[in-house]
Amino acid sequence: MNIAYFSTRIHTNLVINQVIRLVQEIHDSGINIILYSFEGDGEDYGAVHALLHDNGLPFHSITHRDQTHMVQEVHDLIRQDHIHIIHCRSYDMTILAAAHFRSCKIIFDVRGLLPYEIFQITNNESELQQNLAGERRLVDLSDAVVCVTEGMVDYFAERYRDIAKDKLIEIPVHYCHYETGEKTPPPHLQLSDAYRWITFAGSLTAYYRLENIFNLFYQLREKDDRCKLLILSNQDVHKNDVVAHENLDADPELFELYHVDPGLIPYYLRCSCMGLDPFFSVVQAMNTVRLAVKTVEYIKYDLPIVAPDYYPVYRRFMDEGYPVLTFNRGFEIDFSDYERVITTKPDPSIKERYDIRNTSTMYVELYRNLMPGR
């Protein structure tokens, strides 16, 4: 059984940790899987290509250019590699496979709801309906649809009621394994253990607004004045920019903003007391299906999480006993269970669910179910 894993942007930290680590784990389990990397002109893939070579992971580098020639190149590679299954990360890769390579089994690995992500930006209803019609075609043309949460499974089952239930497979995101290993930062970037560090790790976007991050932090600080805020971001935003932000009232003595090597993330999360997930979208569907990589990173280090009370995945965590402090749509934290949340040790089985070895096993089982006997 031969698998082609279609992905873009493999040179980014997120994809290195979410795709390359996963493909490596599947490859090391004995499955013949080849990474097909679709790469844009003018981007530097040298380091990640070296990483793939060093780890003995087979891959093809496919540069975006004329569509006809690119499709022919991929078609030739699929025939050369005797591919049986194309595993597509997200919508664009599934569109490509469904349009041109339907002689293979196709896995549509959804990750997020792209039609609604676009709608969040454009607010164009007719475009949304057109994109949802396209999503429906992808679901119909795929042999399996991988969803990262139970809420996403429910979304597809409810929206496309004639879809076969066994076509929807829940496989969660996994927490990261950093190639550089765990490091200790230089003294001026180390955290004092005199404070309770409340950490947000991730990109600052329309979904993760600084105003909401600081709103939650100041509520927590009112509860415990030992709290300080730590923001770990890979964007070109600096502490002085945050202090100067007119809507924040950000006291520079109460927070730090660091751009760090991925190998330092474990140090900072081990020093933290709580993780923030301040996601909010005006599109309801977006609020019911997601599970962020930052969430499973917090879980990896047993951090209590401050999270929306309208996320099904967090209700599941709470039912399983994981310490979650919730806030409502007005970003008001419910402190009624605060003492239990900050003192509860999570059940290790929850962490194990998001281990890459578990995720890899689930994908291998899916491959074998699609190609029995191979």
pLDDT digits (tens, 9 = 90+) for 296-344: 999 999 999 999 998 888 988 999 999 999 999 999 999 999 999 999 9
Let me know whether 132 and 232 are in one domain.
no
pLDDT for residue 229 is more than 80: yes
Let me know whether 344 and 235 are in one domain.
yes
What integer pLDDT is reported at residue 182 of this predicted model? 62
Let me know whether 330 and 225 are in one domain.
yes
Q: Is residue 65 part of a domain?
A: yes
Q: Is residue 182 part of a domain?
A: no
* pLDDT, tens only, 39-77: 987 788 999 999 999 999 999 999 877 888 999 999 999
Q: Is residue 167 part of a domain?
A: yes
Let me know whether 99 and 218 are in one domain.
no
Let me know whether 295 and 348 are in one domain.
yes
Quote the strand ranges of the chain, DSSP E. Answer: 2-8, 32-39, 59-63, 85-89, 105-109, 144-147, 168-170, 196-201, 227-232, 255-258, 272-276, 305-308, 324-327
pLDDT for residue 181 is more than 70: no
Indicate the average pLDDT of the chain. Answer: 91
What integer pLDDT is reported at residue 110 of this predicted model? 94
Residue 20's domain is classified under what CATH number? 3.40.50.2000
pLDDT for residue 136 is more than 60: yes
Q: Is residue 181 part of a domain?
A: no
Q: Which residues pair with 231 in a beta bridge?
A: 200, 257
Let me know whether 125 and 198 are in one domain.
no
Let me know whether 226 and 168 are in one domain.
no
**CA atoms of 99 and 93, how far apart (whole Å):** 10
Fill in the amino acid letter for 237: V
pLDDT for residue 147 is more than 90: yes
What integer pLDDT is reported at residue 280 of this predicted model? 85
Let me know whether 195 and 136 are in one domain.
no
User: Among candidates 295, 294, 304, 301, which has minimal Cα distance to 274?
Assistant: 304
- pLDDT bracket for residue 370 (50, 70, 90): very high
More confident residue, 244 or 255: 255
- pLDDT bracket for residue 292 (50, 70, 90): confident
pLDDT for residue 254 is more than 80: yes
Q: Residues 334-348, buried b or exposed e (16+ Cβ, 10 A)?
A: eeeeeeebbeeebee
Terminal-to-terminal C-alpha distance of the chain: 5
Let me know whether 206 and 349 are in one domain.
yes
Least confident range from 101-105, 125-129, 180-184, 336-340: namely 180-184
More confident residue, 318 or 236: 318
What integer pLDDT is reported at residue 216 of this predicted model? 97
What integer pLDDT is reported at residue 179 of this predicted model? 47
pLDDT for residue 124 is more than 70: yes
Greatest CA separation found in the chain? 63
Q: Is residue 258 part of a domain?
A: yes
Quote the strand ranges of 9-104, DSSP E. Answer: 32-39, 59-63, 85-89
pTM, to two decimals: 0.91
Domain that holds residue 157: 2-174+355-370
Fill in the amino acid letter for 101: F
How many structural domains comprise the chain? 2
- pLDDT bracket for residue 16 (50, 70, 90): confident
Let me know whether 211 and 157 are in one domain.
no
- Mean pLDDT along residues 89-103: 95
pLDDT for residue 180 is more than 70: no
- pLDDT bracket for residue 175 (50, 70, 90): confident
Torsion of Cα atoms, 304 then 307 then 312 then 313, to 10°: -40
Q: Is residue 180 part of a domain?
A: no
Let me know whether 106 and 164 are in one domain.
yes
Least confident range from 166-180, 281-295, 341-355: namely 166-180
Q: Is residue 265 part of a domain?
A: yes
- pLDDT bracket for residue 130 (50, 70, 90): very high
* 19: DSSP letter: I
Let me know whether 274 and 131 are in one domain.
no
